[in-house]
Amino acid sequence: MPVIKLNISGQVQGVGYRYWFAEQAQALGLKGRVQNLSTGEVEAVIVGTDSQLSEMIARSWQGPARATVQAIIQEYLKSDLDVQDFSILR
C-alpha cells in the first residue's frame, strides 16, 4: 500500500490537531502516526489506499476548529512500512 508523509504547517500545535488527525485517519481505516515537530509543524506518516490517502489529505486542510492550516507538503515514501495501527507521538 502507498505510504505518504505530510508536513502540515500553520496554527497546528496546541489546538488538538494531532488528536483530530488521528480520529480522522482511524475513521478512514488508515495506519500510521502523527507527531508535533520542533519547527511548529505537525508530521504525519499514513498508510492506505490511494483513495483513503486522497481523502485524508483533503480533510487535513480543515483540521479542528481552532487550527489554521497554511501549507501541506507531501512526500511519498517506500511502501514497505510495517504499521499495525495509528498512533499519536509527542
Give the active site residues.
18, 36
Outline where 1-90 has alpha helix (H).
Answer: 17-28, 50-60
Helix (H, G, I), strand (E, B) or coil at 86: strand
For residues 9 and 84, what is the distance between their CA atoms, to the nearest angstrom? 27
